[in-house]
Amino acid sequence: MKTRFLRASEVEKLDEFRMNGWGVLPFFESLTLELSEILRLVLRQNYMDTSLTKPRSEELAIGIFDKENLCGILRAKVEKDKLIVKSVVLLQTSNVSWEMLFTTLEKIARTMEVDFLCLQLEKELSPDQAEQLTKFGFEKNNRGFQKSICSVNAYVFGGGGARGSYAIGVWKFFEEHGFDAEIVTGTSIGAASAGLFDSGGLERATELWEEIGTENILDFDQGEDIQESMTSMLKSVAKMGVTSVKETGISVAPIYETIKKYYDFDKMAKSDRKIFIVTVEFPSMEEVVVNLKEKPRKEWVDWLIASGSFFPIMEAKEIQGKYYIDGGYRNNLPIDIAENLGANRIVAIDVQGPGIDKTKLIAPKEVTAIEMFRSAWTLGAILHFDSLRSSDNIQLGYLEAYRRYSLAFGYWYTLVEENLEEKLQSLWQEFVATSPLEIEENSLFAKVEKVYKSEVFRENLPLALLELLGKNANLSPLRMYSLEEFVLELNQNESTLPVVKSMFEWTNEYYQQFFLLSDNKRAEKLKEIYNINSANERKKRILRVGMIFPLDTILILWEEFLHDRIYI
């Protein structure tokens, strides 16, 4: 079951509840009146971001979805440390059992970080209803029934080599906001992060990533500066391949000194935190889950290295006569291990390294509240470690967590401005009303979603288009913007791509610069519309081009409109 705030653009979905809805518990006297109250809330929820992690102080309408189908609605409000549920309406055609309902309510409470789940009832329960509530841990109070929410927190750090610096930024945000974890699991570079979490802390983790290069990880001279061009990157990759073949895997000897410098194993030994990491036995290729603190302390470094031994590029790690390689071959994001240890509130950080994501094979438990962080931005090459790129990735991780949990908006960028939702909606409505193009929003959603790479709907369409303008202009995602600052930066034309690029990033840059049909080249050509002095000729050109490239034309006109409204 999935849950999120209902959007104002979804009010038509309430029609089915008027015909087939029912109150699963005696929250209200009249279904008609209750649905009217929910309608009022939904119409007010003009949210660009409908995640339950976004703090909201007002009363809320939250949708319960079975896959993509809305099957239930609850009206609730957060008051201090309580989530007070004022009504639950389900479709009679839904297959929501008591267990599914209470599990979903508990998961919502855990996601919204409250200590108590309260059911505010209008009438006495039937014996069967009272029995069900007691069965699921509710106790009667003066306003209805209440259940204490016990959360066991965990971090799950995924594998991905040099991209793992992104996880440090997410960790930084959560540490600033008081989130700690009793359980930490990790694979490959995620195992290294798990060890750092318990032995070094955030300060040492940041120091490590902002100081190390590939030479601190692998016994390998990458040769000329890989920052210069795609050619130098290709030469480095080829040299790495040749070295790994000649030596049956590149030695990881330098990492011992790196770990000795940044890890405090005395601190880890005194901690009660559970640290579990994943490696794979070779050649059987069986997953091995390692309870690090149950291993002899002299082996801790060996197991951390084993989890990240990306064979055959890197040498396999021998421990007590057996060989071990990168855990990503079997479980690159070990959410299942955290759940098996009792975690029910998980911050999972997937840096999208190669390997198997077991969550696609084994679904997490319904009761577990999982906040998944997976950057929309490419995070660089996996085996090329660079302090500047690491610093950028740390900032990306921090800002993406900030957007998720604070009143900042954006999928690609971080926009911080009071009443931004209302301002963008007002500007968009004026734009649609005055545009020379006839803009049909319903036909735009799929087109925009394809390039935006995230869900697009009526409320966030203006923001999605704004962010696409930012991407086309190569705006930096490493800072916070007001709306005015963002629009101003669109005309600066300064490339802010990372200094150290992966092969994918080099290829994309060359494509955008030199291929005639690239997005950037097409945008440059369309902007010639700006230079047409005749209003009639300009309108004709816009209409003609708009028929061939509707989205590109709308983006050009949206940018021009925003610049005129904000600066003139």
Closest CA to 555 of 566, 540, 565, 545: 545
Q: Give the separation between CA 471 and CA 490, rounded to whole angstroms.
A: 9
- CA atoms within a 13 Å half-sphere pointing along the CA-CB vector of 546: 19
The token pair at 184 is: 């930490």
Question: Which residues, listed in sequence order, are joined to residue 322 by a DSSP beta bridge?
Answer: 319
Q: Annotated catalytic sites, by residue? A: 188, 326
Question: Which residues, listed in sequence order, are joined to residue 76 by a DSSP beta bridge?
Answer: 60, 85
State the angle between helix axes of 201-211 and 165-176 in degrees (0 to 180), rounded to the nearest 10. 150
Q: Give the separation between CA 509 and CA 497, rounded to whole angstroms.
A: 9
DSSP state of 503: H
**270-294 burial, b for 16+ CB within 10 Å, e for fewer?**
eeebbbbbbbbbbeeeebbbbebbe
Angle at 421 between CA 417 and CA 424, to 5 degrees: 95
Q: Give the separation between CA 89 and CA 84, rounded to whole angstroms.
A: 15
Q: Give the separation between CA 213 and CA 226, rounded to whole angstroms.
A: 12
The CA-atom distances, in angstroms, between 56 and each of 45, 412, 553 are 10, 22, 36
Q: Would you say 82 and 47 are in contact if contact means Cβ atoms under 8 Å apart?
A: no
The full length of the chain comes to 568
Q: How many CB atoms lie within 10 A of CB 263?
A: 22
Q: Give the separation between CA 50 and CA 306, rounded to whole angstroms.
A: 41
Three-state secondary structure call for residue 562:
helix
The CA-atom distances, in angstroms, between 17 and each of 11, 103, 324, 548 are 11, 22, 56, 41
Q: Which residue has the tokens 């959603």?
A: 445
Three-state secondary structure call for residue 275:
strand
